[in-house]
Chain A
Amino acid sequence: MGQPMSKKPLMVSKYLFIFNLAVIQSLKNSKALLGLSLFLLTCLLIFAHLWKIAAAKMGAAHLHPDQLLWYIALNEWVLISIPEIHVGMEQDLRSGKLAYLLPRPISYLKSMFFEGLGMLTVNLLVLGAVAFLFTWWRIGIFPFEGRILILLLALGALAGAVGVIFQMLVGISAFWLQEVSPFNWIWEKLLFALGGLILPLAVYPLWIQNIAYWTPFPAILGERSALAIDFSYTAALHVALSLLFWGLLALGCLSLLYRKGLKILTVEG
């Protein structure tokens, strides 16, 4: 029967299976997907109108409303797709469920990450289709070459994965914080503001731009989506490298914090 023979391929297959189950679970939760899709459509409709008025009145910083709708669609697509995995992690930590999962021959942190990736994948596919079809229908032109579209989709997926890691960082703070929602609130607001959710960072005052580019937020949202307005392979490479850097840094922090938290749990109970 079960043997402690944790060979690498076997370990990987455990996490892939978790990914698989998370995909199935997300697909079965069709009401949640429908809710997210409607929310995304509402956001896009509001911003489409808003930017048409703003462009008519102010010229909207030399940006065409159609371009901005693609920008916002690419932002909202990733933002809404990132699963709120911190909620489950907080529950696991606060209820003590984590302690009971520890004897299983599998890493809690990795299993949560793959569960998050599974949920993200379904959200990205469904919301991606919604955002893409809506924006295309609204504007009537398809502005990307196939190659660029694939690159934008891949960067969106990478940004979503980095978002999952940051969500896990919020969740893991439950080891020390009584309530993680204020921490999540700060993360979200910084992402909206410094990520350039509704307005490209290029139109921000320079000093805010300078601050923003020292954070992971532009790579997750604005800088990546700005590729829809002004695409270059150099800019795309910069976004990809930024995402990899911030993703690896966040993973390192996550692993360190988890080890520290686990020590508290196993020693202090």
Chain B
Amino acid sequence: MNYVIQTEKLSKNFVIRQTFPGIWGAIKGLCFSKTEEIPAIQGISFSVKAGERVAFIGPNGAGKSTTIKMLTGILYPTSGWIKVLGFVPWKDRHALGYKIGTVFGQRTQLWHHLPPSDTFDLLAKIYEIERPVYDKRLKELLDVFEIGPFFHKPVRQLSLGERMRCELVASLLHKPAILFLDEPTIGLDINAKLKIRGLLNRLSKEYGTTLFLTSHDTADIEQVCERVIILDQGSIILDSTLKELKKTYLKKKILTLATDDEQFSLDLAGVKILENADHHFVCEVDLEKISIDRVIQETLKKTSLKDVTIEDPSMEEIIRTLYGTAHV
């Protein structure tokens, strides 16, 4: 199997200096210090195949960014080992740097007062890309990411969406085998988010780039990734394909009915009424207790139907449930 990322029993502890409360505490702190070791990552193991699109998600403080920092060589692990494209990241950080790309939604690598074209030229130098190769690659990326109209505009004048597209181009110039994305759509409007997601999919299909993405926006995960790794309190609580996740955790459906009667009563085990007014009836059906057919049959006994809609609960709800279960 062609794995591009492999981790084995990876752990990271942070030593935190504790402060004492109040004025006396502050004075005491000048002479004495107390430290505490906090485990941020607790023995996680996973592998990623070439070309995979992996969502690495979890609540705040779960350890996502810490893991990404270890995978990119920014942080040393406390124990365990990592191989990324055959390199040990913290030992071969610069050599690995030529093979990976990083996009951090809240950080920029573009020069603020200069147009993106200047930063791209600089990155071509940094990654030692030969001029003809760079010209060809840049042309391709400009077409794919449609940044021609603002290619020569100073970065400070770009919208957040335009800037993010430039950040992606900047990270892809050296044709990285893996692209690490930390909250790539944070702060973007809905159109810009859709555009970025579409571009990431295109990138993965056309260049076979492995995507390793963290995001709090479940739509990023649903629309871009095929596999989900969920991290909570430094441990992996789920590692599954998106399809499998939905199959396993979609035990409920949302049923919306447009009825003839303005209101009607339905008292069935496994049916939770969410809305019931103005010819509009919405309920959550627990499929382990009752089938959708049965609910509709029972409804038809009481009223006639004009329209029926069946929906899955949102991905966000599934993930929220998973986070909740992990804490119990």
**A interface list, Cβ under 8 A from B:** 1-6, 10, 13-14, 17-18, 21, 24-25, 28-29, 95-97, 99-106, 265-269
What would 17 more interface pairs be, CB under 8 Å, given A103-B72, A266-B76, A267-B75? Answer: A1-B98, A2-B99, A2-B127, A5-B128, A21-B111, A21-B114, A28-B113, A28-B154, A97-B107, A99-B69, A100-B107, A104-B109, A105-B127, A105-B128, A266-B75, A267-B76, A269-B69
Which of the 9-residue segments B87-95, B226-234, B270-278 touches chain A? B87-95
Cα A1 to Cα B69 with chains together (Å): 24
Which of the 9-residue segments B118-126, B189-197, B259-267 touches chain A? B118-126
A102 touches B74 (CB 8 A): yes
User: When the two chains form the complex, which single residue of B69, B90, B118, B128 contacts A21, counting CB atoms closer than 8 Å?
Assistant: B118
B128 touches A10 (CB 8 A): yes
Q: How far is the CB of B303 from chain A (nearest CB, A)?
A: 59
14 A/B residue pairs, CB under 8 Å, sorted by A: A1-B133, A2-B98, A2-B99, A10-B128, A17-B125, A24-B118, A100-B74, A101-B109, A103-B93, A104-B94, A105-B98, A105-B127, A266-B74, A269-B75
Cα A49 to Cα B74 with chains together (Å): 55
Provide the B4-34 mask, 1 if CB < 8 A to any CB of A, else 0.
0000000010110000000000000000000
Chain B residues near A265 (CB-CB < 8 A)? 74
Chain A residues near B90 (CB-CB < 8 A)? 266
Chain B residues near A28 (CB-CB < 8 A)? 113-114, 154
Cα A106 to Cα B127 with chains together (Å): 9
B98 touches A3 (CB 8 A): yes
B129 at the interface (CB under 8 A from A): yes
Cα A167 to Cα B324 with chains together (Å): 50
Chain B residues near A2 (CB-CB < 8 A)? 98-99, 127-129, 174-175
Identify which of A17, A25, A103, A269 gathers the most chain B CB atoms within 10 Å of its CB. A103
B236 at the interface (CB under 8 A from A): no
Provide the B72-105 mask, 1 if CB < 8 A to any CB of A, else 0.
1111100000000000001001111111101010
Q: How far is the CB of A11 from chain B (nearest CB, A)?
A: 9
B66 at the interface (CB under 8 A from A): yes
B113 closest partner in A (C-beta): A25
A4 touches B15 (CB 8 A): no
Cα A182 to Cα B137 with chains together (Å): 47
Q: Is the interface of A mostly helix, strand, loop or mixed?
A: helix
Q: How far is the CB of A104 from chain B (nearest CB, A)?
A: 5
Chain A residues near B114 (CB-CB < 8 A)? 21, 24-25, 28
B109 touches A18 (CB 8 A): no
Cα A104 to Cα B102 with chains together (Å): 9
Cα A4 to Cα B73 with chains together (Å): 15
Cα A113 to Cα B17 with chains together (Å): 32
B97 touches A105 (CB 8 A): yes
Q: How far is the CB of B112 from chain A (nearest CB, A)?
A: 8
Cα A21 to Cα B127 with chains together (Å): 16
Q: How far is the CB of B83 from chain A (nearest CB, A)?
A: 16
B126 touches A105 (CB 8 A): yes
Cα A31 to Cα B37 with chains together (Å): 49
**Within B124-143, which residues are at the interface with A (CB < 8 Å)?**
125-129, 133, 137
Q: How far is the CB of B159 from chain A (nearest CB, A)?
A: 20
Q: How far is the CB of B29 from chain A (nearest CB, A)?
A: 13
User: When the two chains form the complex, which single residue of A1, A6, A103 contacts B100, counting CB atoms closer than 8 Å?
Assistant: A103
A28 closest partner in B (C-beta): B113
Identify which of B74, B100, B154 gathers the most chain A CB atoms within 10 Å of its CB. B74
**Contact A13-B125, Cβ < 8 Å, known A1-B174, A4-B94, A97-B107:** yes
